[in-house]
Structure 1
Amino acid sequence: MTTTVPPGLAEQTEIGAYAGFVTGAPPSVREALGSGSLRAGSALALAVREDPSCFFNRAGGFGAGAPITADVLEQVCGFYRDQGVPQGSLAIAPPLLPPDWASTAAQLNLTEGSRFVKLGCDTETALSAADGIAALDPGLRVGLAEPHQANEWATVMMTTFGFTTSAMTDMAASCVGKPNWRQYAVRDGDRIIAVGSIFMNGECANMFGGATLPEERGRGAQSALLTARIRAARAAGCRWLVAETEAEGPGDHNTSLHNMLRAGFEPLYERVTWLWRA
């Protein structure tokens, strides 16, 4: 029996969450943002032309049950070119990289970008660890985001990450209440101060979009959101949990990473983001 999350499943679950987030928006929002997607082999590529950060121009799910071929990679790069975006990223788990990757990357003019830690654990381990997570500050409470709170919920998430256009907020708000998703909020009175989602992909669930308003950090919100989402995954019958966050460089401290380690997650691998540029 597999005791750790298979890399292919971990990567498929991650890109599945992003795909649901981007392509699940209403047609008018997708048109306003210039959103598109492409399936190439086992991989899925996304593009949001009106996202100046290029964050959502990403492809993942490579090597999950199908080899990573030059044709698949060329299709993804061609998709970015056709979508008219200046940059796109390819996320490939190190265990799944083909042996000739260095020469392939050079031929496609792919360069190394930022590094992310892929984390995972089984749901039961996370449930046990959740008991030791710090409690919320008095007066705060965590619960499911209600449909009528979708816009406030989305505004907290997107503005915290630096996405300030109304169309980007509409994209996030449209995800609230969708099948295979749960969106949670931490409230101080009637005001949402922190948010987080979980996306369920069969046996595997992906932590997605945890964000706390800058002035409200350090009050236990993200730990509480992790616990709530772990319990939701267990209730949905998920066997594994995965998450990703930026890797720490020398002298860095990534609070999100340490919150997840306390919640029972373990590093699976460190993944380079491979960048295509127009």
Structure 2
Amino acid sequence: MIVRSPLVPSLALAAEIERSKIGYMSDRMTAIRSREGNPEGVEIRAFGQAVAFYSRTMPWPAFNTVKGLRNGDADALEDILAFYNERGRRPQFEIVPGLADTGLLRRLSELGCELSGYHTSLYADPSTRSIPAGSALGEPAGITVRELREEEIELYATIHCRGTGLPDDGIRPVAANNRVLFGRPGWKIFLASVHESPAAVGVLHVKDGIASCTFAATLPEYRNRGLQQLLLKRRLEEAAAQGCRLAVSQCAYASQSHRNMERVGMKIGYIRSSWTARN
């Protein structure tokens, strides 16, 4: 029997958490790009140790972000900004504490970028199943969690859009961009229902022993029922079943998502900063 040492915050762990995010984002964007004709105009470009993601039709920061910047990448920043400027997009740079030095931050500022926010990354060892006592994570009467079926992808897209405040005309493109994940190694989508009424979703990506709890959403009328805690628990169980040594997720600090993650036993790995090019 192999006994692993408890996971504790470290620069090595931070780097592994970030690698998992680059991994699932690269795989997701590659899947979207593989649609016939690349209708979303997805591009993925490496600059030194960093990876830049871009989409012509999806202007949100999540799809136009730079991950993986490290000490020594300051010389690549002008090329990265030129890449986005040529495409009419303001990029977001994700900076992980301890992995980027003051020289890199100074150069970002000199090139017209500014601090624009913070985001929290959390982690857990799914094999320990260290769910806090009293967290009441058994499925309550009338609530079920199961894996989503491919023919239900428009249902997923509906919950995605309505749960995040996107208009219903986004349902078809969201469905198309997530349908490509079915049958793709490492991806699973889970659905939570209340008395058989679909209410919430959560996405999981597994690769190289690391599970990433990625997107999640709940319909407004079903919030505050513990559905996202149940979806997190289900994904951690799946990660444990697949032998993962690490599970990660991210959220806004002190948000409801943050509280849900702490309640299922996840801990803060780091709080990254975001830098955005000024207008």
TM-score (normalizing by structure 2): 0.86
The 3-state SS of whatever aligns with 2:225 is: coil
Q: State yes or no: 1:59 paired with 2:66.
A: yes
Contact 1:157 1:195 in 2 (8 A): yes
Amino acid in structure 2 at the alignment position of 1:133? S
Which residue number in structure 1 is paired with residue 258 of structure 2? 257
Amino acid in structure 2 at the alignment position of 1:246? A
The 3-state SS of whatever aligns with 1:33 is: coil
Matches within 5 A, 1:231-270: 231-248=237-254, 254-270=255-271
Which residue number in structure 1 is paired with residue 41 of structure 2? 34
Matches within 5 A, 1:66-145: 67-85=71-89, 87-125=90-128, 127-129=129-131, 132-134=134-136, 135-145=138-148
The 3-state SS of whatever aligns with 2:15 is: helix
Which residue number in structure 2 is paired with residue 48 of structure 1? 55
Aligned equivalents of 2:55, 2:37: Cα separation in 1:
8
Contact 2:127 2:244 in 1 (8 A): no
Which residue number in structure 2 is paired with residue 167 of structure 1? 173
Aligned equivalents of 1:196, 1:140: Cα separation in 2:
15
Which residue number in structure 1 is paired with residue 211 of structure 2? 205
Aligned equivalents of 2:80, 2:162: Cα separation in 1:
29
Amino acid in structure 2 at the alignment position of 1:77? L
Which residue number in structure 1 is paired with residue 273 of structure 2? 272
Q: Which runs of 5+ in 1 are unaligned?
A: 249-253
Identity of aligned residues (%): 26
Aligned pairs, how many?
Answer: 268
The 3-state SS of whatever aligns with 1:260 is: helix
Contact 1:154 1:173 in 2 (8 A): no
Which residue number in structure 1 is paired with residue 8 of structure 2? 4
- Listed one character per residue, the Cα deviations across residues 99-135 of structure 1 (whole Å, up to 9, x for unaligned) are 313321122222111211111122234x121775333
Contact 2:142 2:196 in 1 (8 A): no
The 3-state SS of whatever aligns with 2:272 is: strand
Over the aligned positions, Cα root-mean-square deviation in angstroms equals 2.3
What is the aligned counterpart of 2:234 among 205, 222, 228? 228
- Tell me the CA shift for residue 162 of structure 1: 3.5
Which residue number in structure 2 is paired with residue 251 of structure 1? none
- Listed one character per residue, the Cα deviations across residues 134-173 of structure 1 (whole Å, up to 9, x for unaligned) are 3334212101111111221132124322344232332123
The 3-state SS of whatever aligns with 2:86 is: helix
Q: Which runs of 5+ in 2 are unaligned?
A: none
Runs of 4 or more, structure 1, over 6 Å off, are: none
Contact 1:143 1:184 in 2 (8 A): yes
Amino acid in structure 1 at the alignment position of 2:54? A
Amino acid in structure 2 at the alignment position of 1:90? F
TM-score (normalizing by structure 1): 0.86
Contact 1:22 1:171 in 2 (8 A): no
